[in-house]
Structure 1
Amino acid sequence: MGDNVEVIILASGSKGNALSITNEGKHILIDVGISFLILSNKLNEQGINVDDIDTLLLTHEHHDHTKGLKTLLKKNNNIKVYLTLGTYQGLSDDVKETLINYEIINSEESFKLENNLLVTPFLVSHDANEPVGFIIENDLKKVVLATDTGYIDEAYFGILKNADLYILEANHSTELLMKSSRPFHLKRRIVSEKGHLSNQEAAWLVNNFISERNQVIWAVAHISEDCNTVLEIEKTIVKVFDDPTKLIIKYTSQQTLEKIKLWLKLLRLVK
């Protein structure tokens, strides 16, 4: 990655997910689970035109990750889309018709983008066809994205360790979820291996991943609006982490936009 890598989390949660990564003048979008209008407005506020997006990575086919896909591709047919075969098969026929420039990707098979970013997909565990997370890196910086997963296979721990930025979900407090008015079948889905990470599970993972680092950023993603709170997440971090001072924490949401800049020699947050 270049000297200045910008990650903008445009939306995160069950109502829609999207984020952009800018490096060497190239703009990457990961998921487009918000409407084209909202996407365009949020990007414009950051000085990015939708027409400047040249790459789209899709994690999976669920509506909260693909809602704006059809319109986006109609407005900008120069975007190259990377997705798994399962994700492609899970898309509706009318959305598939808009996919002109796309490439089927496979878990653990890395590919390089025009801005010299190396992307490595890895399988996550969710009730979708073939969902993946992404490692995005070069010799200087490393970003890990993993949302919508009930667990992460230990076989991936080696390649997920020691990133500069983790965009990892801490979806729910198990206690709050079980006390909520949600139907039992939904609770069971959420806590299953194909559901979502709890605060405890997410904190344990990040603590494991950063053991050799002095400081990292954790952008806490996909936070439940009614079964989780910032306080619950912070209480869990204090209990689970060997050294919580290693963390710079950013809390994402459906509405709030978070901008994170990764510099060559230091980490710096930009509000």
Structure 2
Amino acid sequence: MSTQGDDLRISILSSGSTGNVCYVESPNERLLIDAGLSGKKIEHLMGTIDRSLTDVNALLVTHEHTDHRKAVGILARRYPQIGVYANRGTWDAMASRIGKVSLDQKHLFAPDTVQTFGDIDVESFSVSHDAAEPQFYAVHYHGKTFVILTDTGYVSEHVEGVIKDADAYLLECNHDVEMLRMGDYSWPLKQRILSDKGHLSNEEGADTLMDVLGNRTKKIYLGHRSLHNNMKSLCHLTVASMMANKDFGVGEDFKLLDTDPEAATPLEAI
């Protein structure tokens, strides 16, 4: 199996509070990061970018919440060539929810380590979220880096150091704070989302981006948008305005791109 060109290519198949799946490919490797939709929906979204799950080699899981692991067991049983990778805390937390997974498909991926998948190196890093042992990933290929960071209440200096100056980011902009405060969620749920173990707001996402992006950064995908406490236009405007006000070259030095829970972004090189 090989792909056209010699690039690291990505498609955000789905990103939002209802489900998350990311596809990454190099000339010789194809990976999924998370499987937070039904197996049928993931198969459909892969088809929209002219790719098939029959060629996927590995599925990396960030944590056990349903919108990130819903189809993990289904895909493992349907596609036995896919190895499933997660840390021990995540495996323990999701074991009773995903059904049987063959032992030869189960692999440990400890936090703050690097594993190699063909010609791709993937670096894991721990985050602050109300899950058993949440971690996200920086994907490295031939001097290019793609970082996925959603589902965290804050970004530590350590994490900022790990993800600094990547070529592309999928970064959480989960909620507009005023929409969340004025919305219908219970007060305990609002407190959970706003906490250090919750989710980044639009403003917090923008602040993080301004701390970590560098001269290499060309693409920023705004991700994990809340279905009830955010809007695509508001999220984009908030981040773009904050960054432009600090003299970041939005639309010139880098592209600010939206994601969707129902439609994949184009499969593109970073």
TM exceeds 0.5?
yes
**Cα distance, 1:99 vs. partner?**
4.0
- The answer for the alignment partner of 1:126 in structure 2 is 129
Q: Where in structure 2 are there 5+ consecutive unaligned residues?
A: none
Q: Aligned pair 1:108/2:112, yes or no?
A: yes
Q: Where in structure 1 are there 5+ consecutive unaligned residues?
A: none
**Cα distance, 1:96 vs. partner?**
5.6
How far apart, CA to CA, are the structure 2 residues paired with 1:119 and 1:25?
15
TM (normalized to structure 1)? 0.90
- The answer for the alignment partner of 2:90 in structure 1 is 87
How far apart, CA to CA, are the structure 2 residues paired with 1:149 and 1:99?
30
Query: Which amino acid is the alignment partner of residue 252 of structure 1?
Result: T
Secondary structure at the aligned position of 1:203 is classed as: helix
Cα distance, 1:103–1:58 mapped onto 2, change above 3 Å: same
How far apart, CA to CA, are the structure 2 residues paired with 1:186 and 1:144?
28
Q: Percent identity?
A: 29
Task: Tell me if structure 1 keeps the 8 A contact 2:48–2:264.
Answer: no
Deviations 1:242-271 (A, max 9, x none): 314233111112112112422xxxx5xxxx
Q: Aligned pair 1:230/2:232, yes or no?
A: yes
Secondary structure at the aligned position of 1:158 is classed as: helix
Q: Aligned pair 1:173/2:180, yes or no?
A: no
1:11-22 aligned at under 5 Å gives the runs 11-22=14-25
- The answer for the alignment partner of 1:249 in structure 2 is 256
How far apart, CA to CA, are the structure 2 residues paired with 1:243 and 1:214?
13
- The answer for the alignment partner of 2:13 in structure 1 is 10
- The answer for the alignment partner of 1:30 in structure 2 is 33
**Cα distance, 1:144 vs. partner?**
0.5
How far apart, CA to CA, are the structure 1 residues paired with 2:239 and 2:30?
35
1:199-214 aligned at under 5 Å gives the runs 199-210=202-213, 212-213=214-215
Secondary structure at the aligned position of 1:226 is classed as: coil
Cα distance, 1:238–1:174 mapped onto 2, change above 3 Å: same
Query: Which amino acid is the alignment partner of residue 258 of structure 1?
Result: T
Secondary structure at the aligned position of 2:8 is classed as: strand
Aligned-CA RMSD value: 1.9
- The answer for the alignment partner of 2:149 in structure 1 is 146
TM (normalized to structure 2)? 0.90
How far apart, CA to CA, are the structure 2 residues paired with 1:214 and 1:90?
37
Q: Give the structure with the higher percent strand.
A: 1
1:47-66 aligned at under 5 Å gives the runs 47-66=50-69
Task: Tell me if structure 1 keeps the 8 A contact 2:148–2:171.
Answer: yes
